[in-house]
Amino acid sequence: LRRTMIDLAAVSTAISRKRPLTRPSSSTDNCAPHSHNNHNNDTTSTPQSQSSSSSSLKRTLTLSDLIFYGIGCSVGAGIYSLVGLGAQVAGPAIALSFFTCGLACCATSLSYAECAARTPLAGSAYTFTYVSFGELCGWIVGWNLTLGYAISAAVVARSWAEYSRRFVEGLWVSVDLESWTKTIIPIHNDMELECCPLASVIIAICTLILITGAKESTRFNAAMTMLNLSVLGFVLLSGIFTETILLENLTPVFPHGISGMASGAGLVFFSFLGFDMVSCSSEEVKDPERNMPIGIIGSLLASMTIYVATSIAVVGMAPVALLGGDVPIINALLANACCTPEEQQEQITAMEDPNYHDQCLTYACQPILHRTLYFGSRL
């Protein structure tokens, strides 16, 4: 208990002085027998403190870096993939599902903000739990975080791989990269495993970018976030100016009732997980007591706004049956580029026929009604 109190005192001292966390030299003096050679004890503890200080992380990140980092970690597969899957469960109420998830995350973000301001050290929830409840609880939370991020990274990487394949095939129609995103590996007898080699390559590339350094990876993340927001902004503005966001596609709002909206919220909840990644950068942020709470809450509110606005636009541009679960944004743009709303309804009816021919979701469609949407879906 005495050593734990000393550790907590060291945490408090590190926070107040904005210095890296080191064990004070008095801890060894209080827990070990007193020695007459106090001068030797002081000199031997000096290199340890100097090495700890030299290994501390540089505070190079600003408030704007934090917000862009949080948006970059959050906005991704949640809108590019899950909006289609969620719309099949909740219908047009998928926008309210995103809003509900955002409100639920607000309480968590306030807790993260307070902990990050009080303990501006790297480690996120692991550090907060370790300081508050001890080593065992911190160990459990740390492995839970590792498992959660591993699963979400796999989902995001597979979605990214599918969009990358569609991007290349949209530029060169003759190229077929399906084997890069779907490879069947036999395991035992009749058991097979479906793998995505391109997703593994994407994770390896992202890992190489991350280990180059905090500032360098933050700049790359900021550039990718700006590109991401530009794409989503294009989808929203193109739907508004081409007048393809129709009220008919947004009604009824609750086709599966409130339970459908709740199920959709449970499906898309993990898309908000990125906002807590901001707290991992506490030790690299300038003025963490001020910037950490604003960065965490600001990135969450920005992500929630983007999710709600884009989901309304995507669901409003095409019927849910045409969006699909893999690339709903591409399908929403392409369906309006190739078919009128009446033709879209006819294709939905024709889907029940096993011999039906796809007219609205193919790049070979003629005539092209909206060239902006057509080339936007290919890019």
pLDDT tens, residue by residue, 356-371: 777 888 888 888 999 9
Length of the chain as a residue count: 379
Q: What is the pLDDT of residues 254-283, one digit of tens each?
A: 999 999 999 999 888 877 877 777 777 777
pLDDT of residue 49: 42
Q: Residue 43: is its pLDDT beyond 60?
A: no
8 A C-beta contact, residue 129 and residue 296: no
Q: Residue 186 belongs to what H/E stretch?
A: strand 183-188
8 A C-beta contact, residue 162 and residue 327: yes
Q: What is the pLDDT of residues 294-343, one digit of tens each?
A: 888 888 888 899 999 999 999 999 999 898 877 889 899 999 999 999 99
Q: What is the pLDDT of residues 243-257, one digit of tens each?
A: 999 999 998 999 999
Helices (H), ranges, 18-134: 26-31, 38-54, 63-74, 77-80, 82-90, 94-118, 125-133
- Tell me how far apart the alpha carbons of residues 225 and 95 are, in angstroms, rounded to a whole number: 21
What is the arithmetic mean of pLDDT over 96-101? 92
Q: Residue 73: is its pLDDT beyond 90?
A: no
- Tell me how far apart the alpha carbons of residues 123 and 101 are, in angstroms, rounded to a whole number: 24
Rounded percentage of the chain residues whose pLDDT exceeds 90: 26
Token digits for 22? 């080191």
pLDDT of residue 42: 44
8 A C-beta contact, residue 291 and residue 299: no
Q: What is the mean pLDDT of the chain?
A: 79
| DSSP, res 88 | H
- Cα–Cα distances (Å) from 348 to 108, 315, 358, in that order, read 41, 15, 10
**Furthest CA-CA distance within the chain:** 94
The least confident of 38-52, 54-68, 152-166, 288-302 is 38-52
pLDDT of residue 10: 57
8 A C-beta contact, residue 281 and residue 66: yes
Task: Tell me the three state secondary structure of residue 255.
Answer: coil
pLDDT of residue 23: 44
- Cα–Cα distances (Å) from 47 to 50, 55, 322, in that order, read 5, 12, 65
- Tell me how far apart the alpha carbons of residues 266 and 82 are, in angstroms, rounded to a whole number: 11
Q: What is the pLDDT of residues 170-206, one digit of tens each?
A: 777 677 778 888 888 887 777 888 888 989 999 999 8
Name the pLDDT band for 47 (thresholds 50, 70, 90). very low
The least confident of 53-57, 144-148, 305-309, 372-376 is 53-57
